[in-house]
Chains A and B, each alone.
Chain A
C-alpha cells in the first residue's frame, strides 16, 4: 500500500516526505509507548501513534522505519518535522483516533506484526 493511499484511507495529510508518496508500505504498528515499539515491532513500515515528542521521530529513525502517522489530530512540532526530513521519514497527520485508523488500514490490506507474546 502506498503512503499516498494510507493518507487517503485515514483521511489524513502527508505533512512531510511528500516525495515518498509512491513508496510501498507493507506493515505497521500502533503504540504510544516507544519501548513497546522497540520490543515488539521488527519490520520496516509505519508507526501510528498519538504521542507527540521528538523521541517518536528518534525511535522511528533508530528502527529504520519508513514513517509515522500521528492520530487523534496530534500535530508534530517544527523540530520533529525537521528531524524527520533529515532522516528521510514521511509524516502523516489524521484526526482519526488510533483504533479506527489501524482498523481501516488493516482491513485495506496493511498488515501488522503477527507474533503473539
Chain B
C-alpha cells in the first residue's frame, strides 16, 4: 500500500500530521509496536526537518509485508556536508525553529538509528531526498 502526503512548509502546527496518520495505519494493520514506534520517530523527524529547513515537500510511504519504505523529497536549500549534518548535536536550524523545540541536532541521527537503511541524496540549491526503510519484525 502506497500513501502520499504533501508536507506544508507554511504551517508549523501541521508538521507531524503525516507521521501521525502513518502510525495509525500501521497500528490498524497490526504491525508490531516497536516497528510502529521506530517508523513514527524516523518519519516525524524527517517531516520536521522538511518544514524547518526546506519549506515542506512530499512524503511517500510504501507499506509492504516485510518492510516500510519512506521517501521524503524536498526542493529546499540542500545539505552541503551530509557527514557533518549526521553528527549528533550539529544543527543549522534557525533560532525560531529552536524556540519551537527543534534544532537539537538529533534529527538525522534519530532517523538513522530508527531505520534499517537510510540514504540521503542532496544537491545544494536543488533539494534533498531521504530514503528510509524499516523492516517489520514479527515477534
Contacts and interface: CB of A to CB of B under 8 A. Distances in A.
Secondary structure at the B interface, as helix, strand, loop or mixed, is: helix
A62 interface: yes
Given A54-B13, A59-B44, A34 B101 contact: yes
A66 B92 CA distance: 32
A48 B88 CA distance: 23
B13 A39 contact: no
A79 B13 contact: yes
Contacts of B40: 62-63
Interface residues of B, number: 26
A39 B109 contact: yes
A33 B91 CA distance: 13
Interface string A38-57: 11000000000101011110
Given A55-B100, A56-B101, A35 B16 contact: no
A61 B23 CA distance: 10
Interface of A: 32-36, 38-39, 49, 51, 53-56, 58-59, 61-64, 79
